[in-house]
Structure 1
Amino acid sequence: MTSVDAHVVVDRGTFRLDVRLRIDPGQVVALLGPNGAGKTTALRALAGLQPLTAGHVTVDGTDLDRPGRRRFIPPERRPIGVVFQDYLLFPHLSALDNVAFGPRRHGVDRRTAREQAAGWLDRVGLAGHARRRPRQLSGGQAQRVALARALAVQPALLLLDEPLAALDARTRLDTRAELQRHLAEHAGAALLVTHDPLDALVLADRLVIVEDGRVVQEGDAATITARPRTDYVARLVGLNLYRGRADGHTVHLADGFSLAAADPLDGDAFVVFRPAAVALHPHQPDGSPRNTWQATVAGIQRHGDNLRIQLTGPITAAADVTPAAAAHLHLAPGQRLWAAVKAAETHAYPAAEARS
């Protein structure tokens, strides 16, 4: 049984969001996309904070919003819990009463609501912070109170809007692990809105990528990281992506450049390779690489323990090299050099998505 079946259509001026979402019980779906893609609008529409223009939001078989039938359930009556990016805890209430707020709104008496809230604070490791107000909590603690408040109403759908964005790197790491555990224990559906691929890959069972108000790709993490279908997704997963026409092991790109690929294919195709697969040489290399081209260094950035080199030329590409290799090549913006990628490191796949 599907917990959430939604066709979210929202018109805002010249922008139209048109996204279909299906989430099963116990499943976590991550909604990713660049700024302005429509992620937060989708979350607000599911929560009832943004009425639909068309389409529907159905949770556990009940229509919460269906403009065609003039059906709209207000936010406070929806079986939905929300963790907002800034948490939006009530500043005048203690952590305990923040968590008890939801059950109280659902008709639970004050004593029982506070008992339930105490249980949730214990589950998120904050039993000793019940009397503290939001200003007395750290960022990670505030996030856990917000999560407990959302889960205390036992929602059929849990919405999380960039729940880790406000945290520093160390707190984010610890809180992500905590959040993963609580999501695994949640029996209902969950939708995570994020722009951080690591949050999505760690926390979600399935990814839905939105650009300009439309779904451009969806699937499990392994499929999306192996076969990106847009430049945004390719950057998200750290791959160089090109589109062209495949003829056997050769993919001909639009500008006349061709790439040799490991996979034989015919027709419209994408071709990808990892930045780490790009070797840089001061002179044209001899030997096995079948893909070589003269390039210009356009930029140099730190990337983990390596340097990411942005290259222009017949194709734009990113290459990852060690600091030692960069020093040996005396890399600098504007420098001309040669780039090479082995055909075995270059993978092609059909540009047209398979239909089931």
Structure 2
Amino acid sequence: MDHEPVTGLDAQLIVRRAGGFQLDVRLTVAAGEVVALLGPNGAGKSTALRALAGLLPLSDGHITLDGRILDRPGDGVLVPPERRPIGVVFQDYLLFPHLSAVDNVAFGPRHHGQRTAEARATAAAWLDRVGLAAYARSKPRQLSGGQAQRVALARALAVEPSLLLLDEPLAALDARTRLETRAQLHRHLGDHPGATLLVTHDPLDALVLADRLIIVEDGVVVQEGDAAAITARPRTDYVAQLVGLNLYRGHADGHSITVAGGFTLTAADTVRGDAFVAFPPSALALYPNQPDGSPRNTWPATITGVQQHGDYLRIQLSGPIEAAADITPAAAVRLQLSPGQPVWAAVKATETRAYPA
């Protein structure tokens, strides 16, 4: 799907690096929209963020923000970082250790021409908005991780950026602080009138904070859409793991999909040609013996791993296809499951989704 915002970010990021890695990513983010850039380590997320911030020049392509060209190598245009209307919250926040919270936030407005008193008033107002008015005189070392994150956010927003870049903004926080800060961040992003790009590897951060997801692997976009579209129809193993589905690619002939190795799965959907077939681990049932009157999809498997997964146990299976099953601890005890044990796996056709590749 092409998005052509009237205001916001329109970019074709092409970066060629020594060693052969190449980034070639199309990005559009409308004003007021929050887009998450997701991908595994080494996918190119940080390269994209550095290019947008002006810390890494493009090899080709362009970056246009609210109609203004910031980087277009073909025309010799390259606006330096300090002249881009962009705010950045880095993973480690990078607050100035010798400055108080209010002076950290005031740094941007002062750099943009405000007098010291005016800049400090702007900063104080932003600290109040993020709930840290009482910490205005505190140095970064006196702040908790969540407080430091909010100071960094206030510093980025105080210059009223057309584009806000967030680089793994919650990664440095512990689980409890992360939950609270994520909710606060969601509220502040909702109030930001500019475009926001969130770079993360955490699917929960992306699902909670973003309006749209862009998945990058090996320097290219492999899938894009809202959370519902991506979770319903993952198109790579990484995306399937991200949304918690067993995913296979094969050839469909109606309700039957033959996957690698010649194993055939039956789905409720009718598809012909190259297709994906997917089902959640919770849909996979395990039996000590081949079940009678069995569902359409049954196969012998061997347990290769057992891990705690929330309130369930995730059972990793090898066999004609590799799969994961989520079962209750009580069921695991009843079945006496352990690595190396043979079992039968079954999934109903009605629980199995098929869609064109």
Question: What band does the TM-score fall into relative to the shorter chain?
Answer: over 0.9
Paired position in structure 1 for 2:95: 89
Alignment match of 2:11 (pick from 6, 23, 36)? 6
**Which of 276, 290, 293 does residue 296 from structure 2 map onto?**
290
Structure 1 position 341 matched with structure 2 position 308: no
Query: By how many angstroms is 1:2 displaced?
Result: 3.6
Query: Which of the numbers 130, 134, 145 marks the counterpart of 1:139?
Result: 145
Q: Distance in 1 between matches of 2:218 and 2:254?
A: 34
Give the Å deviation of 1:265: 1.1
The one of 40, 43, 48 aligned to 1:37: 43
Query: 2:140 and 2:155 mapped to 1: Cα distance?
Result: 13
Q: 1:195 corresponds to which residue?
A: 201
Write the letter of the residue equivalent to 2:240.
A
Q: Find the aligned partners of 1:287 and 1:46 in 2 and give their Cα distance.
A: 58
- Whichever residue aligns with residue 111 of structure 2, its letter is R
Q: Distance in 2 between matches of 1:288 and 1:224?
A: 31
For 1:106-125, list aligned pairs within 5 A. 106-125=112-131
For 2:215, the equivalent position in structure 1 comes to 209
Structure 1, gaps ≥5 residues long: 352-356
SS at match of 1:86: coil
**CA RMSD across the alignment:** 0.6
Distance 1:50 1:269 in 2: 39
Q: TM-score, normalised by structure 2?
A: 0.98
Partner of 1:27: 33
Distance in 2 between residues matched to 1:286 and 1:210, nearest whole Å: 44
Partner of 1:320: 326
- 1:26 counterpart SS class: coil
Measured after TM superposition, the shift of residue 78 of structure 1 is 0.3
- SS of the residue corresponding to residue 262 of structure 2 reads coil
Equivalent position of 1:69 in the other structure: 75
Query: Which whole-Å deviations, capped at 9, do the CAs of 1:89-118 have from their partners, x for residues lacking one?
Result: 000000000000000110111000000000
Shift in Å at residue 329 of structure 1?
0.8
Q: Which amino acid aligns with 2:177?
A: T
* DSSP-derived class of the 1:90 partner: coil
Deviations 1:308-330 (A, max 9, x none): 00100000000000000111111
In 2, Cα distance between the equivalents of 1:295 and 1:201?
A: 33
> What is the DSSP-based 3-state SS (H/G/I as helix, E as strand, rest coil) of the residue aligned with 2:332?
helix
* Residue in structure 1 matched with residue 287 of structure 2 by the alignment: 281
Q: Which amino acid aligns with 1:271?
A: V
> 2: CA distance between counterparts of 1:2 and 1:241?
37
Counterpart CA distance in 1 for 2:54 and 2:66 is 16
How many residues were matched structurally? 351
- 1:251 maps to which of 257, 280, 285: 257
Deviation at 1:254, TM superposition (A): 2.5
SS in structure 2 of the partner of residue 143 of structure 1: helix
- Residue type at the aligned position of 1:58: T
Alignment partner of 1:85: what SS?
coil
Match of 2:244 in 1: 238
Q: 5 Å matches for 1:98-109?
A: 98-109=104-115
Partner of 2:14, secondary structure, is strand
1:6 maps to amino acid: A
User: So what's the TM-score if we normalise by structure 1?
Assistant: 0.98
Instruction: Find 1:49's aligned residue among 52, 55, 60.
Output: 55
- The residue that corresponds to 1:164 in the other structure is 170
SS at match of 2:31: coil
Deviation at 1:134, TM superposition (A): 0.2
| 1:228-251 CA distance string (max 9 Å, x none) | 000000000000000111111110
Hey, what does 1:266 align to over in structure 2? 272
Whole-angstrom CA distance in 2 between matches of 1:83 and 1:280: 46
Name the CA distance, whole Å, in 2 between partners of 1:275 and 1:289: 16
Deviations 1:12-31 (A, max 9, x none): 11100110000101000000
User: Residue 10 of structure 2 aligns to which amino acid in structure 1?
Assistant: D
Mapped contact 1:311–1:317 kept (Cα < 8 A)? yes
With over 3 angstroms needed to count, the CA separation of the structure-2 counterparts of 1:258 and 1:148, relative to structure 1, is same
Aligned to 1:354: none
* Partner-residue secondary structure (3-state), 1:91: coil
TM-aligned CA deviation for residue 287 of structure 1: 2.0
Query: C-alpha distance in 1, partners of 2:298/2:124?
Result: 63
Q: Distance in 2 between matches of 1:37 and 1:166?
A: 20
One-letter code of the match for 2:283?
A
Instruction: Give distance in 1, aligned partners of 2:104 and 2:260.
Output: 57
Return the alpha-carbon distance in structure 2 between the equivalents of residues 72 and 303 of structure 1. Answer: 48
The sequence identity of aligned pairs, in percent, is 75
Alpha-carbon distance between aligned partners in 2 of 1:300 and 1:75, rounded to the nearest angstrom:
49
Q: Which runs of 5+ in 2 are unaligned?
A: 1-5
Paired position in structure 1 for 2:3 = none
Distance 1:264 1:231 in 2: 22
CA 122–42 in structure 1, closer or farther in 2 if over 3 Å, else same: same
Check conservation: 1:2, 1:22, Cα contact below 8 A: no
